[in-house]
Amino acid sequence: MDAVAAVTDRLPPLGVIFDLDGVLVNSFDVMRQAFSTAYREVVGPGEAPFAEYNRHLGRYFPDIMRIMGLPLEMEEPFVRESYRLADQVPVFDGVPGLLRTLRERGLRLAVATGKSGPRARSLLDVVGLLPEFEYVIGSDEVANPKPAPDIVRHALDRLDLGPEDAMMVGDAVTDLASAKAAETFAVAALWGETDEAELLQAGPDAVLREPADLLALCPEVVRR
């Protein structure tokens, strides 16, 4: 499947909803550090199971702790360290230019993330991307986080778009599941530390190998 062929039977989008970690920013090293510190402080010595944690990315942190059977008390040190290390999170190459071009073409942009809203907005501010988005919505700001459709539907509502007018770009199965449940176009981003085979098995509507690939799906907006 390639980006262009995937959308020949649908109208071009009016807006794009992005996941954050693994799509806009490469936060994996910082997450490893924060997770390891939280594990050491709350659970004790031993290797923190980050590989398993990584398989659940896209979900809200407390939900991941419940799935993994780890103490919810890990959230406080994890969040603390995530804030402390935020200035070490790099933006993926090509993302700033992509966002500028999408906005110049008239598309409306939002973020729907597994992070809490305040933490997501703070990180985007630190890395200089916050002004590119009209809305940034966190998992604590909807009733049911990913893989439920609530966060994508909420983003669509805020952007005043129908599900047929937008697409969701994510690097996790939970992102695609949330988009599909919201009946919007589900786009897989493969430039982060994602399990490509697992993501493709989830049946995305389009696949992006690098950020600039999204431009083929998003021509200049003609209002309809």
Q: Both 184 and 136 in a single domain?
A: yes
Confidence of residue 54 (pLDDT cuts 50, 70, 90): confident
The answer on 16 and 69 residing in a single domain is no
Lowest-confidence pick of 2-11, 15-24, 74-83 = 2-11
Q: Which of 2, 19, 93, 205 is catalytic?
A: 19
Structural domain boundaries, residue 164: 5-26+90-217
Q: Which residues touch 83 (CB under 8 Å, ≥6 apart)?
A: 119, 122
Assess if residue 125 is contained within a domain. yes
Instruction: Given the residues 2, 21, 63, 213, select the one marked as catalytic.
Output: 21
Specify whether 212 is located in the same domain as 157: yes
Among the candidates 88, 107, 130, a domain finishes at 88
Share of the chain above pLDDT 70, in %: 95
171 catalytic per annotation: no
Query: Is 206 found in the same domain as 167?
Result: yes
Burial class (CB in 10 A: 0-12, 13-18, 19+), 36: middle
**Number of CB atoms found within 10 A of residue 168's CB:** 29
Overall pTM surpassing 0.85 (yes/no): yes
Instruction: Reply yes or no on whether 125 is catalytic.
Output: no
94/61 same-domain check: no
Residue 67 and residue 122 in one domain: no
